C-alpha cells in the first residue's frame, strides 16, 4: 500500500515553487480537499514559471486562473500552491537543473519522475489531497507510477487546457494524481464535467503482450503478482492481446513503431511550433539535458510530419474501433521503477533505453487519444511500480469507475483505501 | 451557382496581407492546387500578425510552419500568401479597423464575414484554389456562407492547431474554404489524415426545427427551395427534429440556451486565458469593436465556468449519442445573408440580433465537437446563403463524402462542379 509520508515537511519535499491559499468559490463535491498545481498552469496575478528562469523573466503575470483551476475552486477545493515542473515540461525524469529534484518519499534515492515532479511529490508526501499535472508524453502517468500514486491522463481534449502552457498540442492534457482511487474519481468527475457511475460493467481486459515485453525482467517479475490478482478478479474476461490485433500490422516492432514513427515525430514537430520562436528570440538559459532535447525538436525533418499524421489517425481509429465500451487495455505504466538520481540524461544522451521503452508505453494513449490511469501495483527493488488501465476515447467515467471498483476489491495490490 | 470572380485582382480583393510562394515539399494528392492561409497561422520566418498591429510588433517571427501548412506542402499544394483576419479572430463580420474589409465578390456592398475574411475573399475571387481559416465560433462557416463557398469546420481536435494562435482552446479548429466540393474533400482528407469514402451511406437527415426558426423570414423563404431538393433526394430518410429530442430538455429556448448558457461563457473564459495577460501587459491598440468584445471576456463572472463545463459535456454527450454513424443534422449556416457593411457592431453593441442568432446556430457544432460543412444553397436579397450539414464527432470523412455526393446530385442548388 502506498504510504503518505506524513512527516515530510514542505521544505524537505522540495515540491513547491510557491505557497499561497486560494479559497473555494463555492461549496461542492470537492469541499474539504486541498490541491496544488504544476507551475505550467496559470494562477491569476502570478507568473507561471514553467520550470525555467528565462521563461519566468519573459512572461507577464497571468490575467486569470486556468480554466481547470476555476473548475476545482467552484467544486469546493482549496489551492495551496504551485509545484516544481521539469523545464518546459520536456522530461520524464523530474530533475530540474534550476529548481532541484522533488523528493520521492517512497524511494528517496530515486527520481520522482516528471515532468509533473513536484505535484507527484506533494501528493506522495501527504502535503495535499491531490495535485494537477500535465501529461503530453507521460508526465502524469510516469511520476504517479514512480511515487506509488493513482494518476489520470484523461481522453485528449476533454479537460480544458486554457491557461496551460502549450507544448505539443495534439497530445497535451491536464491530468491529476491522488493517493486514493475515490478521490481520483471525485476530482476527475469535476474536471471532466461528468458523473462517475457506480457499476462500470467491465466486459473485457486486454493485457497487451508487447507492452509487458518492454519491461525490464525484474519489473516483469514484480508485476506477476498483481496480474495474477487481475486474473482472479476478471476470470475469463481477461485475455492476452497482441498490439497487432489492434493496429492491424503484420509483425514489426510493436509499440516501438507507435513511438518512433508517430509520437516522436509529431511531439517534436508540435513542440517547435509552440516554443521555437520564443527560444530563437530569447535564447534562454537551459539546463544541459533540456538544451539537447530542444535541439532534437529544432532539427526534426519536417517532411516527416505529413506521413506521421496519417499513421497517427490510422492507429487512433483502429484502437478506438477495437475497444468496445466495456473494454480495458492493461499495460505496465513504465518499463522499470524510477531511475536512480542522476542516471538518465536527455533523449539524446540516453544510454539506458529507459526513454524509448517508457515512451513506447505512453504513446498508446497519446496516439489513441485514450484515457489512462496508472494504479500503484507493487514494488520492484524497493520502489513503487504502477500498472495502467486504458479505455476508448471518451470513456473516462467508465475507466475511473473501474479503477475505483478495482481499488476496493483489491486493496493490497493497488493501494486502495 | 457560386461564381469565381475571375477578373478581380489581388489588390481589388483586399484579401491578402502578404504574398509569397512556398513550394510543395513533395508531390501528392494536392499537386497543382494553390492556397492561402489566414494570418493567424504561422509561416516560418514571418511574423504572424493576427490582424492587430500591436500583436505583430510584440511577437517574433515564426520558427517553423504550422503543422497544417506542412501537411499541405507535403501533399503537393503551393502556398501563395497570408490573408486578412479580423483582429485576433474575435468577430464574425470581416471588417478589420486596421487592415480593411476584404471584398465579398458575390455581394460587394456586404461584408465577407469573419474572422477568416481574407481567406473567404481570396477563394471567392478565384485567386487560390482553397484557403485555410480558423473556426472557433463560426469563423470559417460564416464567411463561407456569406461568400457562396464550401466551408469545413472539422471535428474538434482532429486537425492540429500547432502553430495557430490559441483563442478559445476548447473550441478552436483549423478549417478550410473552397469553391468546389471535391477540392474540399481532397484537401480535408490530407489535413485529417484519412481517406474520404466514395459512398457515404446516409441513413438519416435531421432538419433541426429550432435552427430554421432562428432565421430571418426572407432567409427562411429563400431556403425553402434547397430544402425541397433535399426532401426529393433523401425521401423518407429526411425528417424534422426538435433540438429537445437531442438535448433532452423540456421546452426552454432551444439553441439559444446552447449559446447563452454554455458557448458564450466558455468562449469568453478561454479567450481571457489565451490573451488576457498579453492585453494587460501590452495595452494594445484595438479597433473600437474589438475593444468592446475583449471587455466582455475580461469581465466575465468566472464562477459561471464550472456549471458551464458540466452543461457543455452533457450536451456534447447527448448530441453524439443521438447521431448514428450515418446520420446528418441540417441547419442554416447563418440567420441571414452577410450584413451590409458597417451595420453590425461588436457583441456588446449589436442592435440587429445578428450575433446571438448566428452564434446560437454555430454553437451546436462547437459544443458537440461536431464536424460541420456549410454548402452554398442559394441567394437571399441577391447575396449568397448557406445551408449546413453536421455529423457525429469523428465522422468527418463520412460528412465530406456526403457533401461531395450531394454537390454532384444537386449542382444547381449547392453549386457543385
Q: Per-domain residue ranges for chain B?
A: 10-192
The active-site residue, picked from A38, A91, A155, A360, is A38
CB A108 within 8 A of CB A21: no
Interface contact B70-A305, CB threshold 8 A? yes
Taking the C-alpha atoms of residue B85 and residue B83, their distance in angstroms, rounded to an integer, is 6
> DSSP character for A324?
-
How many CA within 13 A on the CB side of residue B23?
Answer: 3
Phi, psi of A374 (to 5 degrees): -90, 130
Query: Which chain B residues are closer than 8 Å to A170 by Cβ?
Result: 67, 157, 160, 162
For A314-341, the pLDDT digits (tens) are 999 999 999 999 999 999 999 999 999 9
CB atoms within 10 A of CB B251: 6
Any catalytic annotation for residue B381?
Answer: no
Q: How many CB atoms lie within 10 A of CB A203?
A: 12
**B34-38 and B204-208 strand pairing:** unpaired
Chain A residue numbers with beta carbons less than 8 Å from the beta carbon of B162 are: 166, 168-170, 269-270, 273-274
Q: What is the ipTM of this complex?
A: 0.95
Nearest neighbour of A162 by CB, restricted to B26, B273, B278:
B273
As assigned by CATH, the class of the B10-192 domain is alpha beta
Residue A356 · residue A256 · CB < 8 Å: yes
Q: How far apart are CA A399 and CA A395, in angstroms?
A: 6
CA distances from A114 to A249, A287, A358, A362 (A): 32, 15, 12, 13
Lowest-pLDDT range of A366-380, B289-303, B401-415: B401-415
How large a percentage of chain A has pLDDT more than 70? 95
A58, A210, A239, B161, B293 from A327: Cα distances, Å:
46, 18, 11, 30, 46
- Percent of chain B at pLDDT above 70? 95
Is A313 an 8 Å CB contact of chain B? yes
| Contact list, A281 vs chain B (CB under 8 Å) | 60
C-alpha closest to that of B387 among B404, B403, B409: B403
Asked if A139 is an active-site residue, the reply is: yes
pLDDT attached to residue B1: 41
Confidence (pLDDT) at A351: 59
- What is the model's pLDDT at position B344? 85
Q: Chain A closest CA to B346's CA: distance in Å?
A: 23
Burial of A318 (0-12, 13-18, 19+ CB in 10 A): middle
CA dist B72 and A156 (Å) reads 24
User: What is the pTM assigned to this prediction?
Assistant: 0.96
Catalytic option among B13, B117, B119, B139: B139
Higher pLDDT, A230 or B350: A230
Alpha-carbon distance of B62 to B80, in angstroms, equals 17
Each residue's pLDDT tens digit, A236-276? 999 999 999 999 987 677 899 999 999 999 999 999 999 99
CA distance A138 to B410: 49
pLDDT in tens, B114-130: 999 999 999 999 999 99
In this prediction, residue B351 carries a pLDDT of 59
Please state the rounded mean pLDDT for residues B288-301.
95
What's the pLDDT score for residue A2?
44
Residues 7 to 36 of B: which have CB under 8 A from any A CB?
25-26, 28
Residues 101-140 in A contacting B (C-alpha not used; CB under 8 Å): none
Amino acid at each position: 500500500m502506498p504510504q503518505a509520508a506524513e512527516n515530510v515537511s514542505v521544505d524537505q519535499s522540495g515540491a513547491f515553487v510557491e505557497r499561497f491559499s486560494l479559497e473555494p468559490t463555492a461549496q461542492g463535491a470537492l469541499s474539504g480537499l486541498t490541491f496544488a498545481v504544476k507551475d505550467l498552469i496559470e494562477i491569476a496575478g502570478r507568473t507561471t514559471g514553467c520550470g525555467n528562469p528565462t521563461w519566468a523573466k519573459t512572461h507577464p503575470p497571468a490575467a486569470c486562473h486556468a480554466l481547470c483551476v476555476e473548475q476545482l475552486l467552484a467544486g469546493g477545493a482549496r489551492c495551496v500552491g504551485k509545484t516544481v515542473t521539469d523545464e518546459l515540461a520536456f522530461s520524464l525524469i523530474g530533475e530540474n537543473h534550476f529548481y532541484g529534484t522533488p523528493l520521492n518519499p517512497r524511494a528517496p534515492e530515486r527520481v520522482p519522475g516528471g515532468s509533473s515532479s513536484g505535484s507527484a511529490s506533494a501528493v506522495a508526501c501527504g502535503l495535499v489531497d491531490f495535485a494537477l499535472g500535465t501529461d503530453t508524453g507521460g508526465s502524469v502517468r510516469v511520476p504517479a507510477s514512480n511515487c506509488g500514486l493513482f494518476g489520470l491522463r484523461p481522453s485528449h481534449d476533454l479537460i480544458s487546457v486554457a491557461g496551460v502552457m502549450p507544448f505539443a498540442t495534439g497530445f497535451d492534457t491536464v491530468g491529476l494524481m491522488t493517493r486514493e482511487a475515490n478521490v481520483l474519481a471525485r476530482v476527475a468527475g469535476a474536471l471532466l464535467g461528468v458523473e462517475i457511475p457506480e457499476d462500470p460493467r467491465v466486459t473485457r481486459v486486454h493485457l497487451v503482450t508487447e507492452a509487458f515485453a518492454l519491461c525490464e525482467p525484474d519489473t516483469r517479475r514484480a508485476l506477476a503478482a498483481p496480474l495474477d490478482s487481475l486474473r482472479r478478479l476478471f476470470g475469463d474476461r481477461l485475455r492476452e492481446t497482441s498490439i497487432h490485433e489492434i493496429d492491424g500490422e503484420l509483425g514489426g516492432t510493436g509499440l516501438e513503431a507507435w513511438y518512433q514513427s508517430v509520437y516522436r515525430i509529431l511531439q517534436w514537430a508540435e513542440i517547435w511550433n509552440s516554443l521555437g520562436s520564443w527560444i530563437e528570440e530569447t535564447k534562454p538559459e537551459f539546463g544541459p539535458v533540456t538544451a539537447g532535447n530542444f535541439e532534437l525538436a529544432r532539427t526534426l525533418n519536417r517532411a516527416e510530419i505529413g506521413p506521421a499524421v496519417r499513421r497517427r489517425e490510422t492507429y487512433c481509429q483502429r484502437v478506438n474501433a477495437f475497444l468496445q465500451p466495456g473494454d480495458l487495455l492493461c499495460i505496465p505504466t513504465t518499463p522499470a521503477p524510477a531511475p536512480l538520481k542522476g542516471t538518465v540524461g536527455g533523449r539524446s544522451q540516453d544510454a539506458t533505453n529507459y526513454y524509448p521503452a517508457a515512451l513506447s508505453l505512453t504513446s498508446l494513449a497519446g496516439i489513441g487519444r485514450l484515457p489512462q490511469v496508472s494504479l500503484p501495483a507493487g514494488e520492484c527493488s524497493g520502489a513503487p511500480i504502477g500498472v495502467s488501465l486504458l479505455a476508448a476515447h471518451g470513456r473516462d467515467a467508465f475507466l475511473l469507475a473501474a479503477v475505483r471498483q478495482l481499488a476496493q476489491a483489491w486493496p493490497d495490490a493497488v493501494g486502495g483505501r
